[in-house]
């Protein structure tokens, strides 16, 4: 039996399957008789010494986490700065870890979380504290380096493709006397992976989405409007999938709300779909509808990809194995070995190769005209949305999600003044 405590925390925007990783972490640790604590609201909970006693969760609750969206332990958008700039916070984390005999720290998140886990491992080494830090991948943006894909993306991609196909049928039915143009906004600040997933909704030249706007390509309003008008004349209607992060040739976000930045230092975007819809209406005169699925696309557990669920569980189990084996400052990653039939396995990569790196859509995935996906993109994306993993449903017709009661352990340190 390993001695010490494993601390697990969730970070950033939660997904349809991040709790599946949490479930796998807890079950794998329990199998090794390792005590597990969860930080409430991510790194904030660790700083505040608000630690959840995972031993209080029943086996049924832990299993049910695997089909429950959201973040069971709470998440946060807090990015710690460099070791020098935020040294007091990092030292506070080590104080909390010491107080609760935390020897393994698993941080389930994206790029910024990988960076935090790496820096915590570096400080622990500096102080000679025996701590193993492991990142657990998660992000609907699919922009983590090294890994073939990110748990959370496949389910959001499936939601996007299905929603686009369904909305397109609605628009086609109404187009003669009503809506001519429909604009769907997908998450993706710098990388167009989710917008690309919309392209799976159709295969023919006249199938929706007729236009996809990627952050990797400069947005040209005149060309966009001309293409919309041409599609309407040819097909009778036009369905557009736009990434929230598209920029003009000047590098400015098309949908920059002018509202400053969020807690991660990212520009606060104001809704690209509404902007594009307004321009289509004003310049072309077509009746337009638009949709901002926002949280819906990342929380839709009812339509989760089976592949995505399996990968979220796999990286959770692998993270515990890495931690207990003393593999420090690493992250389990997905390695694809074949497209069709789809085959993959989990490997281990150093956090240094993931933190502060960003994986954008490769040029080979974007059609030469810049407004659609290629066959290579389809080969990459299709397996990630494959399979269904529906949650159990209750008598009232709603998914039977679990909302576990979280019991905090007793604090041992003075309150954090940060």
Which residues have a catalytic role annotated?
A: 141
Any idea which residue has 């692998």 for tokens? Answer: 318
To the nearest 10°, the Cα dihedral for 260, 261, 263, 266? 180
State the distance between the two ends of the chain, measured CA to CA, in whole angstroms.
36
Q: Which residues pair with 53 in a beta bridge?
A: 37
Is the peptide bond prior to 341 cis by the omega test (within 30 degrees of 0)?
Answer: yes
How far is the CA of 377 from the CAs of 163, 188, 200, 214, 401, in angstroms? Answer: 19, 16, 9, 13, 34
Is the peptide bond prior to 209 cis by the omega test (within 30 degrees of 0)?
Answer: yes
Helices 153-174 + 306-324 axis angle, to 10: 160
SS3 state of residue 330: strand
**Sheet with 181-186, edge to edge strand ranges:** 211-213, 238-243, 181-186, 288-291
């Amino acid at each position: 039996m390993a001695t010490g405590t494993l601390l697990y925390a969730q970070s950033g925007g939660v997904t349809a399957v991040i709790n599946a990783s949490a479930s796998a972490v807890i079950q794998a640790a329990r199998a090794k008789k390792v005590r597990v604590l969860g930080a409430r609201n991510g790194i904030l909970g660790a700083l505040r010494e608000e630690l959840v006693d995972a031993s209080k969760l029943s086996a049924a609750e832990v299993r049910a986490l695997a089909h429950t969206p959201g973040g069971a332990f709470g998440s946060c958008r807090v990015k710690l700065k460099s070791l020098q700039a935020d040294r007091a916070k990092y030292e506070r984390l080590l104080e909390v870890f010491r107080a609760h005999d935390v020897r393994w720290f698993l941080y389930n998140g994206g790029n910024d979380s990988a960076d935090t886990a790496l820096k915590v491992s570096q400080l622990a080494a500096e102080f000679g504290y025996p701590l193993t830090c492991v990142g657990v991948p998660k992000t609907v943006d699919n922009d983590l380096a090294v890994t073939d894909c990110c748990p959370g993306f496949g389910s959001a991609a499936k939601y996007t493709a299905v929603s686009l196909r369904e909305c397109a049928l609605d628009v086609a039915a109404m187009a003669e006397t009503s809506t001519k143009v429909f604009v769907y906004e997908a998450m993706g600040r710098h990388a167009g992976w989710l917008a690309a997933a919309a392209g799976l909704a159709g295969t023919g030249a006249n199938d929706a989405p007729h236009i996809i706007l990627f952050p990797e390509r400069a947005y040209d309003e005149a060309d966009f409007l001309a293409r919309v008008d041409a599609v309407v004349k040819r097909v009778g209607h036009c369905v557009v999938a736009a990434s929230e992060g598209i920029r003009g040739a000047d590098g400015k976000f098309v949908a920059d709300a002018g509202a400053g930045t969020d807690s991660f230092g990212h520009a606060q975007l104001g809704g690209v779909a509404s902007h594009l819809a307004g321009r289509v209406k004003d310049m072309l005169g077509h009746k337009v509808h638009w949709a901002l699925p926002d949280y819906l696309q990342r929380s839709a557990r009812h339509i989760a990809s089976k592949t995505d669920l399996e990968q979220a569980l796999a990286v959770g189990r692998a993270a515990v194995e890495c931690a207990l084996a003393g593999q420090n400052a690493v992250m389990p990653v997905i390695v694809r070995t074949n497209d069709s039939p789809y085959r993959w396995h989990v490997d281990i990569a150093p956090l240094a190769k993931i933190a502060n790196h960003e994986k954008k859509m490769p040029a080979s995935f974007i059609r030469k005209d810049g407004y659609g996906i290629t066959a290579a993109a389809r080969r990459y994306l299709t397996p990630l949305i494959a399979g269904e993993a529906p949650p159990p449903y209750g008598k009232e017709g709603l998914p039977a999600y679990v909302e576990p009661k979280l019991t905090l352990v007793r604090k041992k340190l003075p309150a954090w003044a940060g």
